[in-house]
Amino acid sequence: MEIKPIRTRKDYRSALKIVSRLVDMDPAPNTPEGEHLELLGTLVEAWERRHFPIDDPSAIEAIRFRMEQMGLTVADITPIFGRPNRAYEVLSGVRPLSIGMIRKLHRDLQIPFSALLKEPTERVKP
């Protein structure tokens, strides 16, 4: 088992091929192949994090995603916002989240505070 740093896109593609072969083998964790997969997977993950960063979602994107995951409608989440029109205003980007809304969204929908506190960059279309 030879592990080399991933420095170039070519190294990255080569590592992905090896990871793919190892995943297909489905090695046990404490075998040489399992350890090779774990180490190479860590290197690939670090490369991807550095070269293909993914921004955290906006608060509105996080709320909509969680609603979709949980099969919720605006009527279902209205108690979090107080009134239906407030829910629509928040989801359309017209009204900012209040501290109370942020707390309830975190508590009731388990949306991370980091997503709920992210500054909006632009108005999101409904």
Q: What is the pLDDT of residues 44-99, one digit of tens each?
A: 999 999 999 887 788 999 999 999 999 999 999 999 999 999 999 999 989 999 99
- Asked whether residue 43 falls in the same domain as residue 72, the answer is no
Domain co-membership, 63 together with 43: no
| Whether residue 112 is found in the same domain as residue 64 | yes
**Domain presence at residue 95:** yes
Question: Residue 108 sits in which domain range?
Answer: 59-116
Give the DSSP per-residue string, 40-74.
Answer: HHHHHHHHHHHHS--PPPPHHHHHHHHHHHHT--H
Residues 47 and 63 in one domain: no
Count the domains in the chain.
2
* Predicted TM-score of the model (pTM): 0.58
Q: Summarize pLDDT for 34-57 with one digit per residue, the tens.
A: 999 999 999 999 999 999 988 778
